Structure formats: C-alpha cells, structure tokens
Structure 1
C-alpha cells in the first residue's frame, strides 16, 4: 500500500491537481456528501463502509501512509502565507483536545504499569530495603517501554528545553523528572511510597523539623510526620529482630557498652520539670562473620583459665618480648624518619630523581587485618537504657538488661550461655575493671552463668592511646622558657592544652600537637646530622645516603643507646637539654608507631607495643592502665586458648566501618561514635525526647547512618559536610623546626643545664622498668586478682528466679 501511494504521488500533475480534487468534491456534492461526511464514513463511521473491501483498502492506505503525520500537522497549524487576507483556520482546538485525551489515557496506563516499581509494603521497612534503592535503576525502568516512556518524555520536555540540551554539559533533569513521577504515583496511592519513605528517613535523620516534614508531606514528597516516627520504631524493631535471629544461628558476636550523659532542658520550670543532666548506657553488638572463624569453646576457656591462673607471666617474658620487637621498631622508625623528610614540601619528593627507590617503600606489616567492603564491621546497637555503668551493681544490672534485649534471659538460654558461649566484652578502663570485678566477686557462685564463665573482658585501645598521649603530656609539658610541650603550645598558639582533660576535643588537639612537634624535631635532626642549612640541600643525596643518615638520626638522636652514652659522661659535661630532646624523640616514635598501627589495622604492631606500654604506664603513674596491660598479657601468654587469643586480636581490638585501608579504629572509639550519634548526630529534641523514646529508636541508628550515606552516595553529595578539611600544618612545623635548630637542641653543648627543674623530664620507661624489676609490683597485682573459682553447676537458683519472675 505504501508503494502504491508513493507511485501515485509520483504520477501527480501539479498543474491539474487542484482541478482533479475539485472534480472529486463536485461529485461528492452530487451524491450529497462533503469532506467531513466522507472522512467520517471512511474512518469507521458507518458499518457498511467498515465491511466494504475497497473502503478498507483505502482506509488502511491512509492510516499507514507517510502523508498522515503531515496531514495532521497541517490541520493543526495550516501553513501561513505572507499575503493579505484572513489567516487559514485549522483544527487546532479539536486536535489539541484530542491529543490531550490520548496522552491522558496513555499516562493512565503507564502510571498503572509503574505501580510495582513504586510500591513499598510495610515488610520492606528495614536497612536492606532502604539502602537497595538505586535512583539510576529506577530511572532506567521508568524510561523503558514497560515503564512510563510517554510521561517521562513529556515531563523531561517540560523541565528541559532544546536550548538547555545543547548548552548544559553537567546539569541533568532526570532526577527531577523521576521525583515528579514519584510524587504523582504517591498521590495516586499511599502504598506507592518507595521513594517518599527513603526521603522521609533521610530528612529526619538530618535534623529536619516536624513542621518542615509536614510541609513536604503536603507536597507529596515525604511521608507524614506521624508515619516517620512509627517508621523509626519499626526500623528499630526490625534491627533487633534480625540481630536475635543472627545470634540464634550461632554467628560469633562480641559487645561493648559505655556511659551516656545527656542534658535534658526545659523551658517552663516546675518542681518535677527541671533542666538536668542524666546518665544512661548505650551498647553495641558486633558480628564476626569471617568464614574461617572457629567457634570459641567455653569449656576450653575455663580449662586454660584454671591452668593459666596458677602463676603470673614472668617479667623476663616482658623484657624478652620488648627485645624481640626492637628490630621491627628500629626498621619502622628509620622509614618514618625518612618519611618526615620526603613529606617536607621543601624536599619536593615528587620531583626527586630516585623517588621510586625501595628505600622509600612502606615497611612490611607484621599482622595486618584485611580491608575492603566485604570486611566492614557489622554492628547493631541495643536499646539505650537509663541505667548507670559506673558501679558494680550498675554493670550487673546492665548485663541482665542486654541479655533480656537479646532474648538470652530464659532458663535454657542462661544454661547455654554459661556452659557453651564465650562473649568478649570491650570497654574503657572503668567498664572493664567493673566487669572484671564482678567476674571475680562471683567466682564462687553456684553455676556457670552466675559465675560469668562466659565473660572474656578486654580493654579498648582508644582510651589506651589517649592515656599514652596524656602520659607524654605529663612527662614533657615543662615550662614556657624550657624546650618542652608548653613552649611549643605557646609558639603555635595552641589553647587549652596546658591541663589534661578527658572532655571535648582535647585529645584531638593534643595528638595533633604531638605529631607536629615530633616532626619538627626530626626535621631539625636532618639538618644537624647532614650538616646542611635547609632540607632542599638533601635532594642531591642518593637514597642509600639518606637511609644512612636516617639510621644515624635514630642511633644518636632517638634511642636508649644515646641516652646511656650521655649518662656515662661526667656530671659536669652532661647536656640536659640534648638528653631531654633525645628522650622525647625516642618516646614519640613509639606513639607514632602505635597510632599508625591502629589506623591501618596492624594488630601485630599493636601487640608488639604491649611491653613498652606496661613499662611507660608503670613508670608514669598510670597504674590503672598498667594493670589492664598486665591482664591482657596474662590472657595472651597464660590463660586464653589459641582460638580466643586470635578472636580477641582480630575482632575485639579494631573495627572498620568504611572498608578503607586507613579506616580502622578501636572498638571503644566505635562505641564512642555510637554515643555521639545518639547525643548529637541523630539527637532527639523537644518534650518527647525522653529515655523511653531513646530506648525505642536507638537500635535504628545504624540504619539511619546507612540511609544517610546511601542517599549522599546516590546523589554524589559525599564531598559536602562529611568531614572538615584540616588546615595546612607546614607553617607550624617549619616555625618550630627553625626554633629547634637555632637553639641547637640536637647538638651536644657540654654542661648545658635547664634553668627550671620543671623542664627536666623523668624517663617514665626507665622508671617503669626499675619498678617492675626491683619491687613486688607484679606480685601485688597477682595477689589482688587471684580468686578460687567453683566449677560445679547448680541450676536450681536460675529455675527459682525464672519461676519468681513468671509469678
């Protein structure tokens, strides 16, 4: 038919076309027809015409012809001639009304097509469902033939003109079009709420007010404020339900908890309505999902505890372990000193001739944890409770509460927990000391559950690192006129660091200051040892020469050997200042090493630091943390079976929430992050922000965090507001380095003395070694922690308690 039409078109004579058409119209008039009646009859307007084969053929030819679109276009808008007279009238209004009707029906059909894409049943209110939503996938589905291609095309044209298509290279209206379709679908049915659900949760966890959410709900962008609160509670319940199921399936887990101090403010005071601070406790469950984890054996742990608790570890073992670690310490210190040089902008390592030399390669790890998305630590928050954790009684009540929340409070579960499970418990020094005290006080109870035989307590490394930093602060603070930290704080205008504190950003600021002062000292050492005036002059030296210089810096400016040689000088020739900075360099290298080991997940290096930490904490009067190191060494060397040792080191020391190589943090820091999220990031405000409300929603906080990260990843908004940009440190380090070089701190000046005795720092490590070797320190610790433990199990008390609770 198309070929016939085209053949006839080629045979048309333009000179006689109008006459031929007029003749046809005249004939139509003779048979009482006009063009409207003729077209109506042709186009299915009469039943006899529908059946006529000739008419059918011609009708089909019209419908499939290439001329039909042109005919309709000219009927809608007749060609305009630049001549006088009235403009030709087309069928614009009729065709537009018809087009609207056609498009409306198509859109109706397409909106029904996309209903399955937009629907979100209540059962899908969980972390996996919310974070599995991909905007790219939804947009692809909407544009597909089975989606709503017509509606998409219309809305995209409404949102983006042709000129924008040509001009814009980055701006894209697709997300806006998708949201318009989502809003329209949600308006048709509140069950089609897949995107509004996600946006509602995101905006709520970002701190959107109730009124603003109600406004957005009126526009169809979000769910109602009432639904949002119900949804948050649903997420919390879903998270707890999933956690119980995972634990029931036998996945190894461990737990941490920490105190939570929240200010409750009121704006209308009454006797029973006053502003106040209140204490509670937050807890987190971590899952160990490695495929190669052997189950921890409760009977084996009890047996090794019994045999290992017959005698403490030997002081000789501590010294031997520190000696074995010395070679690794030395190699890492050399490479760190080299890195201080290559990180200097003045050295310009990127343009250094031998930058690819193995001399500058990172040191080999000792025992580094794997990283990547598959190794992200999976954690679940328990319901926050209004219970203190500073006392023994408080911790005892908390253990019962956590077991109740986990569904481990039945008689059967208590028996299984006491005789089969091993539960590692991590916390700060106060928490673990209270738990260990309970473990000892209950050592003669009637059954394994009451005796807490399942408990495996270990301290968190974040608070240990903080104690290390404050120990350095106490040791090297000095005076403004000396060459210690106080002088550096004054030069660099670092405020609030003269007095140690456990609150606010003190640790962060102190750690930065320690790193900057340490790096400045080693830059000054490079100039002194190489005999040059500036770092740039070292660019001419080969890598082997630089390594040789780094080795000399360690040997003569940052080692115990250098301190011993200094002390062998006659009293009149000793240089107190040089000795002070040499001891600082030696000690600060251990802090740098431990900090990097934690950040990059090397548990082998962390373990190597335990003897050093014991000596430092013992000599620096950090007695509580010294005892924690003793407890850990006793467990690793005497009382824990091999599986328990590996589990504690590989899972209970560090967590990784990002999967990045530098994304590791101690477990107690991860717990602090969760406390921060409860208090600040996802805080609840207003008169309804009670402990009961916090208890309801706190298990949903990991989901809030996941939803927030997911939305920002989907919209490529990660670069904004994720973390602050640290100011450049170079000016601070350069200024300190020049001061140290000018004062000749790293050059021996015979008979140089400190003017103020407060500037002369004690050697905490040497004092700790002396205390361990010459006093009964280890024996005193051992005597105070030795308790006889029962081994029999009488479960009658648990049965009685269970009966009393039921009654």
Structure 2
C-alpha cells in the first residue's frame, strides 16, 4: 500500500493510526491492548456505530470516478487471495481470531474491530440468514443451529442470575412485608419463576406467595400436587407447615402489641363445612361450628388513663345506686342540635343525587358555597399516625351461641392467645384492665348475660368487670336495612320495594336472609331506589321533563327546589300533614313514598358516617334507630341502642366516651 493510500486509509478518523485513544477489540493481542490494570470500557453502541459507519462511508466515497467498479475490485481481491493460498473461508477465519499472530497484528485487529462495531454487521447477518435472491445460497440452517445453542446458553445465564438475585427469598421470607412486596401483574414473571424453580427449589419467592394465597382460597390438596409439579406452587406439606409458622409468628406479634397498646376485640361465629372426596367410616363429611376473633390495636392518639378500669367501675356503682331509672326525657338531650345536623345532612344527600347525575357533569357552579357539605360532627382522625392494626386470633371449634361456649372463649381461650392466661395476668386484667369487646347482638347478649350470672363471684376477674360489651355497628346497619325491607316491601300489584325489585329484575330480595349476600344486594337496591326517587322529585318539583334542563338554573334556584323537596316530600312533617288532611284529600300512595323518603335519608346518613368515621353523626342517629327498632319489632337491638345511649350519657366516664 502506497503512502497516499495510507493517508486515505486513516483520513476517516482524522488521527494517527497508533493513537492511544483508538478503541481496540478486547480479545486482541496484549501488546496492543490497554494496560492490564485498566479495564477495557467499550464506547456506547450508538456513538460507536456512528463512528465506524462514517469510516466505511468514507471508504465508499473514496472510489475515484472512472475506476473499476466494486465487483471488479472484489474479484481482484479474491484472485490475490488465491495467489496467497487463501479462500474466503480461510481469510475470514484468520481475520476473526484465526491464530495468535493474526490476533496480535494491529492492522488486522483494527479492521476486525471496525467490522464488528459497524452497523453493516447487522445487514450482513441478515443476508446470511435470508439471502436477497432465491438463487443465492444462504447460511440459514447454520445460523439457526447457532442461535438455538447460544440463546439457550444466554437463557441459562439469565435464569441463574434471576434465581440468585431476584427470586431467592430473604431471611424473613414469611414476613408480611416480604409476602406483600411482589407485583403479580406481569405474567412473564410467573413463567420465569417456573423455569427458575425447576432448576432450584431455593428460587421460590413467588412460588411461596402463590402457595400461601391459593391455600388461603381453599385450594384442594390434589390441585396443589398438580401445580407443584408444574413449578407454580410449593408442595402441600410445605404450605401447611408455612401456615403454622406464620401463625406462630403472628401470635408473637399479637402478644407484643397487646402488652404495649390500647386495644379492643371482637368475635363472631364461623361455620366451616368439611368435605372429603372419598368417604370412609373414619373420613366423613362434617360441619364445624367455630368462633373467630380479631384484636384491634388502637393508635397512640386513642389514649386512656391507667386507672380507666377503676373509673368505669365507680361510674357503674354510682349509676346503679341512682334513685331513678334512666328518664325517657334524657333521650332528647341535645336533640335540637342533632335534628339540625341530620336535617342538613339529609338536604345535602338529596342535592348530591342531582349533582352526581350525568346531566350535571358539566355544571359550572358545582363549587358554589351554597352546595358546600355540612361540617362533620365528630370526625375520627386519619393518617399514618392513626392507623388501627389488626391481629387475627386462632380459630377455635367452640360454639359461641351458648353461655358455656362464651365462657370458654372470653375467660380462657382468647386470653391465652393474647398472653393474658396466667394467674398474674388474670389478676392484672381484673384489677387494672378494661377490654371493650364488640360483636353482633347474640355475642353481646351472651357476654352481658354471663356477667350478670357471675355477679356474686369473689373477685373482679371472675365477675367479668373488665369486659365492656358493645354491639357492632355493621350488624346494626344490616338490621336497619332489614327493617326498611320489612316495612316497605309491599306487593307486586301495589306500591313498595317489591314492585321496584321486580321492575329492576333484582332476584333474591323478596325474602330476608341472614346468610350470604342478601344485605349487600339489599343495600345496593336501596341506594338505587332512593336515587331514582329523589331524581324524580327533582324533575317534578323543578317542573322539567329532563334533568338537563335543571343545569341551566342558578345555585339559588336549585336550593329553593331542594328546600321544597325536603320539606314537603321527605320529612316527618310532610307525613304528618298528609295524615291530618281531610279524608277526601288523603293520598295513600304519596304518603307511603314520602315516608319511605324520610326513612331512607337516615339510613344513607348512617352508611356515609360509618364510611368516613364521623362518630358524631352516628351518635346523632341513635334515637332514630331506637324508635325504628322498637316500632319495627327488633326489640333486641332496641335494647342494645338504649344500653349504648345510657352508657354514653350516664355510665361511662368522659375518657371512655
């Protein structure tokens, strides 16, 4: 090669061919490689491809006009190779790390590096895989064999890396933080987990979580064996042992929180049908009546003084020695303020039905101060510092519906699981502690009845002075909805909820049920019926044929319509006016609908107050619930409501209220 050719050869780089900054192939000879102590760092692919692409492009542009075309140059080069005893195969083998001399030669190394980093390499490989012409002979078969081999090696490396770093469970594999830290949205993750688990059972982080989840869902053991064979879950035996280990760990956490924090408890009955696939005399289907309890650890803000137990006992003693029973007039203490708050909540609920309708989606005055919701009455604090922690105790095969079962649960089983089972802990419980315990009406009635039965026992623990039973508001809400169902069901031919249920094709709502999803469906139906009723009132009172016409009215005009709806179509005063009307003016259908509207608003108010934690609104509704349960035949819950009102106003000290 002449001097001129050499200069043209290196012009594309604009630098000396032996410049130290030149990027070399790391597999080339050590004599021209970077220093041993300095690791070789290749340039980014995008900049390297651009750099080497410029070099190749400059070579193409360097062809002088009128010279031999590319085909002639290639033929001449191959003839020269033949003269040197080389063909294309030998030449390529030598250039691409053929022997140590070719690897060490700087000129060969440079051209090899240019080719391997050039974007042209991809087009060359593509032409090898599939030649541009059918007559050409490609290397597709060889490349397929090569790809299968190399992709398999790469997959093995990736699986080993993933199994070693991502899927291997940490030391605290069964902790709540680890079990809930995996994202299940990517299906590819499950496939990778199956492949990794097939190589090592230690690569089982996701497999463990699937096993625990499916076991909790009641997956049968035979299905576990199938999924375990596929690498999706651990074995059934491992899962059973894991549940035992998790339970033991949770028991320790429960006892620690019970000793350090304020708490309340709750329990209810549990029915478990045990089924077998192949019955034998020693292996039969049977039904278990069990009980399950939960301990609720209150936040630090729920402070109770250390002497709260003695204060409650003293308040009970003073209330028991009162010369008069609880006067009925005390039910109406502060009733005017409570009635005003309930009136405001009812008005806003009717307004919300209109503002949340599709016709008002683009209403420009939604933020008008006239539409502002009433302030909360007594809202519980929220945030990270006010989170209530939940601890589930072990389910036991004891029927809580009997006094004997309640005695075992309250005075032995739950206390032992909480770490209060020793004689010293029982003494502290009777003397110093106060445990508020919630449940349905049966649970509370059994606890209260057991305490009455043991009122002459020799010590505070045996008398169960340390237990303060209260009814669960969720159960009271269900009874509230059932009371509305019983009062307004009506008939298919007349008026009432039955006709609405049949029109809406709501099945399973004609007869009250205590099990299953009856209350969920009933609650949903009450909301739908109430919304339709009040939207119809908006159209009737507003004298429009479509709600979209109301969107053209000002906020003040809508408030005027709202006051008319609430006063004349959804209040007790409106019901009284209709009942006192002359006989010829009596409208039974309208009276029933006005009374239904007036009764639905407190139910909606209770549901929203429970959802947001406004305990003040819930307390305001206690007299309304008392009269509904007393008049509707729910005498047991009427007693519970009256008991709670009495405790709030007379028996409980201020700290417990």
TM surpasses 0.5: yes
Say whether the 8 Å CA contact 1:476–1:484 is kept in structure 2.
Answer: yes
- CA–CA separation in structure 1 for the residues paired with 2:253 and 2:587: 65
Q: Are 1:337 and 2:386 matched, yes or no? A: no
Among 183, 192, 202, the alignment partner of 2:203 is 192
Task: Give, in angstroms, the shift of residue 330 of structure 1.
Answer: 1.4
Say if 2:490 and 2:497, in contact at 8 Å, map to a contact too.
yes
Give distance in 1, aligned partners of 2:124 and 2:506.
79
Classify the secondary structure of the residue corresponding to 1:286: strand
> Which TM-score applies when normalising by structure 2?
0.75
> Deviation per CA, 1:14-53, whole angstroms, max 9, x where unpaired?
8899879977986889xxxx9969988996967xx69xxx
Decide whether the 8 Å contact of 2:275 with 2:285 is kept in 1. Answer: yes
Equivalent position SS for 1:217: helix
Q: Residue 289 of structure 1 corresponds to which residue in structure 2?
A: 299
Question: What's the CA shift string for 1:499-524, capped at 9, x where partnerless?
Answer: 54423343334434444444455455
Q: TM (normalized to structure 1)? A: 0.62
**Shift in Å, 1:406:** 2.5
- 1:498-577 correspondence to structure 2 within 5 Å: 498-523=510-535, 525-526=537-538, 529-530=541-542, 538-565=550-577
Q: 1:281-320: CA deviations, max 9, x gaps?
A: 1212222235564566333333333334444544222112
Partner of 1:317: 330
Aligned to 1:224: 235
Q: Does structure 1 residue 441 correspond to structure 2 residue 490? A: no
Alignment of 1:128 onto 2:128: no
Q: Does 1:260 align with 2:270?
A: yes
Tell me if structure 2 keeps the 8 A contact 1:309–1:638.
Answer: no
Tell me the distance in 1 between the aligned counterparts of 2:425 and 2:603: 44
Q: Write the mapping of 1:10-409 to structure 2, written as runs, cut at 5 A.
A: 57=106, 61=110, 64-66=113-115, 77=128, 112-114=160-162, 115-120=164-169, 123-134=172-183, 175=186, 178-205=189-216, 209-248=220-259, 250-265=260-275, 275-290=285-300, 293-294=303-304, 297-311=308-322, 313-342=326-355, 348-352=359-363, 354-370=365-381, 377-399=388-410, 400-409=412-421
Question: Would you say the 8 A contact 1:563–1:579 is kept in 2?
Answer: yes
- Report the CA distance shift for 1:440/1:73 in structure 2 as closer, same or farther (over 3 A): same
SS at match of 1:507: helix
Q: 2:115 touches 2:121 (CA, 8 Å); kept in 1?
A: no
Retained in 2: the 8 A contact 1:419–1:448? yes
Describe the SS at the equivalent of 2:656.
helix
User: How far apart are residue 632 of structure 1 and its match?
Assistant: 1.1
Task: Compute the displacement of 1:461 (Å).
Answer: 1.1
Q: Quote the Cα distance in structure 2 between the aligned partners of 1:338 and 1:308.
A: 44
Aligned match for 2:633, one of 618, 621, 626: 621
Q: 1:44 to 1:505 in 2, by over 3 A?
A: closer
Q: Please give the alpha-carbon distance, in whole angstroms, between the structure 1 residues aligned to 2:96 and 2:295.
A: 77
Out of 458, 463, 484, which is 2:470 matched to? 458
Counterpart residue number, 1:604: 616
Q: Say which of 558, 562, 583 aligns to 2:595.
A: 583
Tell me the residue number matched to 2:30. Answer: none
Contact (CA 8 Å) 1:559, 1:586: kept in 2 or not? yes
Classify 1:66/1:4 alpha carbon distance in 2 versus 1 (closer, same or farther; 3 Å).
farther
Gaps of 5+ in 2: 1-9, 19-54
Question: C-alpha separation between the residues in 1 aligned to 2:96 and 2:548?
Answer: 93
CA contact (8 A) 1:313 1:633 kept: no
**Which secondary structure state, in structure 2, belongs to the residue aligned with residue 644 of structure 1?**
coil
- Structure 1 CA distance, aligned partners of 2:134 and 2:275? 81
Q: For 1:734-767, what per-residue CA distance to the aligned partner results, in whole angstroms no more than 9, with x for missing partners? A: xxxxxxxxxxxxxxxxxxxxxxxxxxxxxxxxxx
For the 8 Å contact 2:299–2:385, the answer to whether it is kept is no
Q: 1:113 to 1:517 in 2, by over 3 A?
A: closer
- Once the two structures are superposed, residues 142-162 of structure 1 have per-residue CA deviations (whole angstroms, 9 ceiling, x without a partner) of xxxxxxxxxxxxxxxxxxxxx
Instruction: Return closer, same or farther for 1:408/1:91 CA change in 2, 3 Å cut-off.
Output: same
- Once structures 1 and 2 are overlaid, which stretch shifts more, 463-472 or 11-20? 11-20
Deviation at 1:194, TM superposition (A): 1.5
SS of corresponding position for 1:124 = coil
Cα deviation for residue 259 of structure 1 reads: 1.0
Report 1 or 2 for greater relative contact order, CA contacts < 8 Å, sequence distance ≥ 6: 1
